Amino acid sequence: MTPDDLLVFLAARGGREYRVRALLHAGRGKKATVRELGEYRLTMRGEDVLACGPSGQPRQLSPQEFHAVFGTYTFGVPEATGVMTDLGPLFAAPEQHSGAEAT
C-alpha cells in the first residue's frame, strides 16, 4: 500500500486507530530487498495523521509532513486495533449521524 493509498484508507475511517508495518524496498531484480522498518499506529484526526512509531512517541503530521516522512515507504495491510479516539464522531460524515440529538 502506498502512502497515498494509506491516507485515503485512514480518511475514510477517521478516528479509528490502525496498525501497519512500514516497508522499505531497495534494489532491483535479484538484488531487490524489502526491509521492515517497524510497526506504526496511525489515526486520522481531521486532515492530520496521528502517528506513533516503534519509539512510542506520537507525532501529529499534516498530509505533506506524512509524505515527507513516509514517502519512500510502502505499507502492509492495515489492521484495526479497536482503539477509537474520542474525537472520531466529530469527523463522521453528516449522513452517518443518527439525527437523535439531545434537546
3-state secondary structure of 68: helix
The total of other beta-carbon atoms located within 10 Å of residue 79's CB is 12
User: In this predicted model, what pLDDT tens digit does every residue of 30-40 receive, in sequence order?
Assistant: 888 877 889 99
**Pairwise CA distance, residues 79 & 10, whole Å:** 11
**Pairwise CA distance, residues 43 & 35, whole Å:** 24
Whether pTM > 0.85 for this model: the answer is no
Closest CA to 18 of 9, 26, 27: 9
User: In this predicted model, what pLDDT tens digit does every residue of 34-63 receive, in sequence order?
Assistant: 778 899 999 998 899 999 999 999 999 999
Helix axes 3-11, 63-70, angle to 10 degrees: 140
